[in-house]
Structure 1
């Protein structure tokens, strides 16, 4: 697994844990930063994970609005928490990280959904991110 893929997984962990525990994302990020300080060998994955989570903090309302708008028949609350985390990461990468092509952001999100979530999640994540990508093509 590449360092960037590990970082995505780490970002999803932070997004998911904050959501599940009902704590502010900034607090979950600070907790992870403390843990990361004691793991210098994982610094490469931490730096990008932090960038993703900071981006979701900065653009969370817009990201959630896009997810809500294009997730026909699904509310954010109805989605599994891990799917919300994966989608938030994927939307952030597509819209706010010009270094990551949309196809890569979608593929990485689908891979994470396949590993971490339900049998139907990968297809759901793929379809939803593809719709959002087409709607906001840049």
Structure 2
């Protein structure tokens, strides 16, 4: 299974809480994480968010109210959410969900630091994509 080590606990339950905007994931090691949709959206593992290398990350803003409209299983190792802003290219492996859940405090701190460094408000709308096509420079 791609990206899974024997040490990564597997999820035993996954629940979408649309009112509170969290994805609740209960893992086989007994831990349960309530991962905010905003955190998932901001840290989506897709190229659209992560860029094509270190320093290429695209800072995501205005995602506080984002919802997850659908959650599709990918094999038996990941899920692919469709967010209310149309973003659906992120594939969240179990170990990535575990990482988001277990490091939530540090990730929020890092996100806020990146917002501050960029001088951008967390709720600012994302700039319109200016003709950046991800497939055009291979």
Q: TM-score by structure 2 length?
A: 0.30
Higher relative contact order (CA 8 A, sep 6+): 1
**Structure showing the higher strand proportion among its residues:** 2
**Structure showing the higher helix proportion among its residues:** 1
Q: TM-score by structure 1 length?
A: 0.30
